[in-house]
Amino acid sequence: MRKIVLFLLLCSALFLTSCGSGDSVSVPFSSNEYQGQPLDVVLDQLSDAGFTNVSTDEISTLSESEVGTVGSIIIDGNYSFFKGYSYKPDVPVTVSYHVLLELTQPTPTPNPDQDDADRIGYPLEQYLNMKNAMIDCGFDDLSISTTMAIGTHEAFTQYNHNPVTIRFDDDGAVTKIYSGDLDIYVDGVCVNPVSDVFLDSLQSITLCNAAISDIKSYLKAPATAQFPEANDSSAWDISWDDDYFYVSSYVDSQNSFGALIRTQFTATYTWDGGEYTLPTLCDVSFSE
């Protein structure tokens, strides 16, 4: 009878041991033993131990010697564990391994001068020579940015609708900037700032508007008068000397017989050119 009882107890123990072995698996290493090991070796060890829910994650590194090696393992939320610890086979296991960090090239700093030089078709040094010379003479950004190349030794721009030519030597240095027969820049020196050579757009429009207002008082039928737009530089001619401004254009208006005729005129003004003053009419001349 005693032998039968012992036999039954032994069978029961073997049965419980067999059932229990399917409910847990043991960690094949401690948390301080896997660092630096190849990823495939560690994954094989975990698979052989019976872990069934293993995933991987990447850790960036600058060291090529670390690439492909394990950096950390988390088992069921735990970073720290000892060899032989028991877990259920399907607990989440995350193995993080090293990959080489891909360094992105820094975005180059935009260079507007290089962009403008490329647009014109000049080397950067030649463009900067031109730009600096124009700045010295008082040209505005619009005039500089709209400059066009006419070959390697000449460029063209406008300042308030006035044509301007820039000349270069063989080395790309500016030798001359001029408009018509008026020199603005010669051999490295600004001889006439543009403010002394040209009117700015506000001054031009002020003189044209003054002429439009004053000429109407000389007409037979001022209500019928049609002038060019004040900002139409092609229809107005403005010149000046040390004493006067001369504003010339045309007007279409009806005469005393009701016929629409075109009359050319020149209005002469004195003016200091200031923003807060108005031109004073001195004389008017007409021609058909």
| Average pLDDT score over the chain | 87
Backbone angles phi, psi at 62, to 5 degrees: -95, -10
AA identity, residue 15: F
Cβ atoms of residues 37 and 45 within 8 Å: no
Residue 4 has pLDDT above 60, yes or no: no
Residue 9 has pLDDT above 70, yes or no: no
Domains, the chain: 23-100 (3.30.10.20), 112-197 (no CATH), 201-287 (no CATH)
pTM over 0.85? The answer is no
Express each pLDDT in 133-173 by its tens digit.
999 999 988 889 999 999 889 999 988 778 899 999 999 99
CA distance linking residue 206 with residue 269, whole number of Å: 11
Express each pLDDT in 201-255 by its tens digit.
889 999 999 999 999 999 999 999 999 998 887 899 888 888 999 999 999 999 9
User: If 0-12 CB within 10 Å is exposed, 13-18 middle and 19+ buried, where does residue 59 land?
Assistant: middle
Backbone angles phi, psi at 145, to 5 degrees: -75, -15
Q: Which is it for strands 182-186 and 260-270: parallel, antiparallel or unpaired?
A: unpaired
Q: Name every residue whose Cβ is closer than 8 Å to that of residue 2 and which is 6 or more positions away in sequence.
A: none
AA identity, residue 147: T
Name the residue with higher pLDDT: 150 or 106.
150
Express each pLDDT in 26-66 by its tens digit.
999 998 888 889 999 999 999 999 999 999 999 888 888 88
pLDDT confidence of residue 21:
46
Cα 161–167–169 angle (5° rounding)? 165
Q: Which is it for strands 260-270 and 280-287: parallel, antiparallel or unpaired?
A: antiparallel
Sheet holding 280-287, edge to edge: 237-240, 245-254, 260-270, 280-287
